[in-house]
Amino acid sequence: MIIKDYLLDALNLLYPELCVACRKENPIQNAHLCVHCLSQFPETDHYDYPSENEMMDRFVGRVPLRFAAGLAYNYSEGIVQNILHGLKYQRKQDIGIVLGRRIGERLMESNQWELPDFIVPVPIHIIKKRKRGYNQCSLIANGINEVIKRKVVSDQLIKTKNNDSQTGMGRSDRVENILNSFHLRDSSKFNSKHVLLVDDVMTTGATLEACYLAFKDVVDVQFSVATVAISKS
């Protein structure tokens, strides 16, 4: 272990890790962000108003939710965009856990939320998971679980279609692209349960809506939604 630590320290000196947001400064230990970017992290107030916020507004008439919240605003270019890119494409899996813990902390800090029975991460197709090596939403869900102590169920909601990337698509195209892409293996497990759906980013809500439709045969199921980010123009 001592030798391993020595080698890691040597590698960090030769190839220092950079902040995943600005890629210029050294990050705070285990945070992946430098002091400046951490201070500028654009958190929302959704967790203080979980039943009355812009994320809830985007689902009105589409998905009946108990609560919904995005942790931070995601602009087309900015801190959160870079963080999510590091999580999804640069194998920085620890970021998912760190962000999940922060979501869990916000849940516990607010007296507005009712904690769920289960945490269900939005799945990715098995081909994409094999290529990436992990599902970033499962990492976020695991981080949430570390704080709120609710079971993560990641083997029941599955992605059955390997859809085209939805980047750049409008809402109608996203809905058509993602429709009937998810399947629930055993609906009885969720009868009369409160499910927290977890995703990395909410843009139009098409993916989360498609996940909800997979639960259409579940008796008295209730939903809340938590994401790392909510997209802003």
**pLDDT value of residue 147:** 97
Say which residue the tokens 């039943």 belong to: 51
Q: pLDDT tens string for the chain (233 positions)?
A: 455 555 545 545 545 678 877 878 888 877 778 898 888 889 999 999 999 999 999 999 999 999 999 999 998 778 899 899 999 998 889 899 999 999 999 999 998 899 999 999 999 999 999 999 999 999 999 999 999 999 999 999 999 988 665 555 555 555 656 777 899 999 999 999 999 999 999 998 989 999 999 998 899 999 999 999 999 85
b (16+ CB within 10 A) / e for 29-58: eeebbbeebeeebeebebbeebeebbbbeb
**pLDDT value of residue 8:** 47
**pLDDT value of residue 101:** 94
Give the domains, in start order, of the chain with CATH numbers.
Answer: 1-40 (no CATH), 41-231 (3.40.50.2020)
Closest CA to 88 of 156, 50, 138: 138
**pLDDT value of residue 167:** 58
Angle between helices 79-89 and 93-109 (to 10 degrees): 130
pTM of the model: 0.85
70 touches 44 (CB < 8 A): yes
- Beta strands (DSSP E) in 103-189 are 118-121, 151-152, 157-159, 182-184
